Chains A and B, each alone.
Chain A
């Protein structure tokens, strides 16, 4: 089954404790991205990657890092999480060529205390 898998689905942690949210897709898509979703603000892109070893900032990259060492994986790293990063996070992927919709994971709800 074609899917985007995120882990963990839920995490409660404390300020300053490094965490990583993993994202993996099995569709051989070149393009992957991370979004955060907050009430009243919709989906905002954090980082994206157009292929292995190529990453770029989205609209709200501050406080986040990503890496793309393999085509299928695109982890999101919070080196020193803060309470304003409490949010619902989505990973998405799509092929690069032509106009095609994104495939989203089921989300990771992070609470930073």
Chain B
């Protein structure tokens, strides 16, 4: 079957480098944002979230940055590993999903 990664912006990154994935959102009233990771053959999995009263939140190897002025969200992955190869989606207020970005990690 066709991969969900087709037709998506793709980021190729060398193993061990940092990755940055960007997402623009449209609704200035959105107050909650989520990043999901979707590996091949699986459903989206929650990575990290952030509320609109914050501009940065860190997890294990991942950091989400929120810029409400320009309605922009980014996900930073430190020391990218082969297991990070996936499609990454942002979502605003749980339900409005971006189309996704494919990350390909080169060993």
Contacts and interface: CB of A to CB of B under 8 A. Distances in A.
Interface of A: 4, 37, 39-43, 45, 88, 90, 92, 94, 99-107, 109, 111
Contacts of A101: 34, 36, 46, 49, 91, 94
A86 to B, nearest CB: 9
A99 B43 contact: no
A101 B49 CA distance: 8
Given A101-B34, A109-B1, A43 B97 contact: yes
A45 B34 CA distance: 17
Main secondary structure of the interface of A (DSSP, over half): strand
Contacts of A39: 2-4, 6-7
A94 B42 CA distance: 18
Contacts of B7: 39-40
Interface of B: 1-4, 6-8, 31-32, 34, 36, 41-46, 49, 51, 89, 91, 93-95, 97-100
A59 to B, nearest CB: 10
A41 B100 CA distance: 9
B49 A99 contact: yes
B41 A102 contact: no
Contacts of A99: 31-32, 49, 51, 93-94
Contacts of A43: 44, 89, 97
A40 B95 contact: no
Contact of B94 (A4, A90, A102): A102
A104 B94 contact: no
A94 B94 contact: yes
